[in-house]
Structures are given as C-alpha cells and as structure tokens.
C-alpha cells in the first residue's frame, strides 16, 4: 500500500478505507491529511476487498488492530445486509458507511447525511427542499429533522415513493410533499438538495458533489476518531 514503515508506530491508531478498488482511488489521503492537521497519531489505510470476500472480512475485522472502517459507496448496502444493527438511521436508510470497533464489538454509523448538511452551514429557519427518495436523501432528511428548519418539502416525480420519509418528519416542523417536474417549481426554497439524476438548480447535487461530500465525511470522521 506504499506506507513508509516509520509512519506507523507502536501506538499509531489504525483505520481502514474499504472498497473494491480503494487503493487505486486513494481516498485514504483525504483522511490522513485531516489526521495530520489534527496532529494525532492515526493512519488510514486503504484495503481492496472483493464483494465475495466482504462477509469473511467483516467477520475478522472486529478482532484486528483496526479501530474503525469507512466503506466506499458500493458496499454501503452490503454492509447493512451482512451485519445486525439497531441504529435507527441506518435501519431507515438501509445502508451503512462507517463501522467503529470497541472490545471486538461493532458500532455501526452513517456519516453521510451529517456531512451533507454540514456543507450547507446554518439552515435554521430556512425552507429546505429534498428531491428524491434514495437512501442518501433519507439519511439527509433524518439529520435535518434534528435541526430547526422552518419548513421541509419533499419532492419527487413519483410522490408515492416519499411516503415513509414523510412519516419521519416531526409535527413541530412544517412540511409538505410535491410532485416536481422542472426548475419553475424551485423559486420558493432557501436550500435545495437533489438526489436524483434530473438536472435541477440546487445547492447540493449528490452525483456531482460526491468529491465535496467525501471530503467532508473524512473531516468529520477524523475528528471523531482522533478521540478513540
């Protein structure tokens, strides 16, 4: 993996980035840049794990020296399917991107929605539109419901797919659901988050902003992990 041996000491906390081609993607560099900024003795190492081997890998990971693992997108659903979980957000979204390990036990977490909202900054008392019903949209909504927007509007070309998301929004937050077809319907919203492949004027486009989101996930996770 190209890590100089002097970079990893006896007390270095080890973390892993898991994907089919994680080494080639070099996503570990994002995490290690943040660890360096925080001035902590932590290292992220990329590991290439084939889909057929993921279950076997997860079975042994809890007994390794790795403190936590972040998974690339192609494994989010698979990790959820392979491991039992009682986390409300993960079960609502049916994906998991982060596993933390303590005393050979897994603590599953989803860092995606928190990272997306962090990119928006202060959204208190703002009207927020979420377009789409993907797991990524659901994670963002889950975290948004913990904040204080003035209104949440869920939008999709097929509004029936938004039913379970609508039930998540607490009664004290004004909310609505609409069928969206074009940009003419977007003028009334402070922030717009698009999780579909449809071209819309928006603040966050999940497909186009993947690099920014990945950078924010690395920043947030390294801050949490620096205290492990």
The model carries a pTM of 0.91
Q: What is the pLDDT of residue 198?
A: 84
Kindly list the structural domains of the chain, giving each domain's residue range(s) and its CATH number in brackets, ordered by start: 5-110 (3.40.50.10860), 114-205 (3.40.50.720)
- 135 vs 9: which has the higher pLDDT: 135
Q: CA angle at residue 208 from 202 to 210, to 5 degrees? A: 115
Region 122-142 average pLDDT: 96
Q: What is the pLDDT of residue 18?
A: 98
* Rounded-to-integer distance, Cα 91 and Cα 96, Å: 9
* Rounded-to-integer distance, Cα 83 and Cα 189, Å: 38
Region 49-69 average pLDDT: 95
Tokens at 116, concatenated: 């997306």
Contact in structure between 42 and 13 (CB atoms under 8 Å): yes
Q: Per-residue confidence at 2, pLDDT binned at 50, 70, 90? A: very low
């Amino acid at each position: 993996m190209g890590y100089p041996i002097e970079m990893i000491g006896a007390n270095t906390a080890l973390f892993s980035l898991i994907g089919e081609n994680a080494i080639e993607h070099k996503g570990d560099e994002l995490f290690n840049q943040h660890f360096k900024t925080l001035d902590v003795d932590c290292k992220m190492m990329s590991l290439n794990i084939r889909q057929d081997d993921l279950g076997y890998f997860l079975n042994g990971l809890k007994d390794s020296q790795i403190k936590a693992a972040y998974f690339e997108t192609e494994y989010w659903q698979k990790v959820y399917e392979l491991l039992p979980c009682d986390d409300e957000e993960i079960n609502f979204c049916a994906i998991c991107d982060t596993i933390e390990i303590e005393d050979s036990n897994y603590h599953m977490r989803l860092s995606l929605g928190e990272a997306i909202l962090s990119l928006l900054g202060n959204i208190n008392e703002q009207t927020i539109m979420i377009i789409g019903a993907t797991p990524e949209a659901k994670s963002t909504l889950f975290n948004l419901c913990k904040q204080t927007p003035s209104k949440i509007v869920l939008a999709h070309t097929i509004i029936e797919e938004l039913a379970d998301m609508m039930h998540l929004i607490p009664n004290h937050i004004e909310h609505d659901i609409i069928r969206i077809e074009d940009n003419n319907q977007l003028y009334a919203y402070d922030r717009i988050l698009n999780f579909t492949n449809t071209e819309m004027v928006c603040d966050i486009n999940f497909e186009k902003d993947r690099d920014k989101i990945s950078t924010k996930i690395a920043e947030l996770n390294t801050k949490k992990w620096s205290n492990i």
